[in-house]
Homo-oligomer: A and B are copies of this chain.
């Protein structure tokens, strides 16, 4: 039904062969100026665009990259996507975004779909459910370039780009301590996620540095990263029902941070008098929120840019790359305490 113009159409209209038309459009020196002009003018007139599908088939690359992330409704990921697009479009690549909503099954289907769809490379932030990355290893082994960002895995030898999660977590926890908190809880995603491990480390280090005892009961995991609000609610209620309630909490992710604020508001917990909250969050409306959240902010846009740059370099590299980089970007702490 919708039939774009082809080289053949131009050739027929002008009484030339398709090869001549093709060469004229690509401005080869071996076509006479008159023919070139003729072709170019006509192509302009009918607004001819080469069929990228045909090109993909011929060139065996699609000039597009695939992205797998948990969800764009998450501001952090929305910002990453903007960073990705800013680089990709400049270098002539399309971006195809897929959402996992934190489900492993969804992630696997999406990524295999992308791969068979001939994306030239993949930008991946793992879902909180993912433990088995063998399907990714498979693709990677067969030569598909992959760059991980945010939630990474060491099971696949490739570039990684992450925030300095340990330092960010350390600073946030130290901030809570500076506010006089003695019993600091930690709310985090599933324990196998790279960001969870790193942020937990930062939390532990801050406690240790300031001589606070680590209480495992203060650490709560949400297997689905807070995709279900009940998860978050239950974790916090458990904390608030403890004999020795925490007086501060460090939350490990965007979604959990927002979810925690909701619960504390529901419970009418006085923030920051009864509870000081700090957490990773890239939302740009945190200033409007009460209860108040001291936030660790990741350079999301920049992460997207760097990840994309790395991926495109892998894709366009003439030789197999074996020397991989783990890039770590600094976070920044935004203190909000009234």
Which residues of A line the B interface, CB within 8 A? 1-4, 47, 49-54, 56-57, 60, 62, 71-73, 75, 78-79, 81-82, 85, 94, 96-97, 99, 112-113, 115-118, 138-139, 142-145, 258, 261-262, 265, 283, 285, 287-291, 320
Contacts and interface: CB of A to CB of B under 8 A. Distances in A.
A2 B265 contact: no
Nearest to A264: B288
A72 B81 contact: yes
Contacts of A97: 97
Contact of A72 (B4, B78, B287): B78
B2 A52 contact: no
Contact of A96 (B53, B72, B94): B94
Nearest to A116: B49
A71 B78 contact: yes
A290 to B, nearest CB: 5
A288 B265 CA distance: 8
A55 to B, nearest CB: 9
A206 to B, nearest CB: 26
Nearest to A72: B72
Nearest to A261: B288
Contact of A262 (B50, B72, B138, B287): B287
Nearest to A79: B73
A101 to B, nearest CB: 8
The 5 tightest CB contacts between A and B, nearest first, are: A73-B78, A2-B143, A49-B116, A72-B72, A1-B143
Nearest to A62: B53
A265 B265 CA distance: 20
B49 A57 contact: no
Most buried by B among A2, A47, A56, A71: A2
Contacts of A75: 73
Contacts of A99: 82, 85
Contacts of A56: 53
A290 B287 contact: no
A85 to B, nearest CB: 7
Given A72-B78, A73-B79, A49 B112 contact: yes
Given A94-B96, A290-B290, A143 B81 contact: no
Contacts of A144: 2
A52 B118 contact: yes
Given A78-B78, A289-B290, 13 more contacts: A2-B142, A2-B144, A3-B60, A49-B116, A52-B117, A53-B117, A72-B72, A72-B73, A73-B79, A96-B96, A258-B288, A283-B285, A285-B285
Nearest to A118: B53
30 contacts: A1-B143, A3-B60, A4-B142, A47-B138, A51-B57, A51-B118, A53-B53, A53-B62, A53-B117, A54-B57, A71-B78, A72-B78, A72-B81, A73-B79, A73-B82, A78-B78, A85-B99, A96-B96, A258-B285, A261-B285, A261-B288, A265-B287, A265-B288, A283-B285, A285-B289, A288-B289, A288-B291, A289-B289, A289-B290, A290-B290
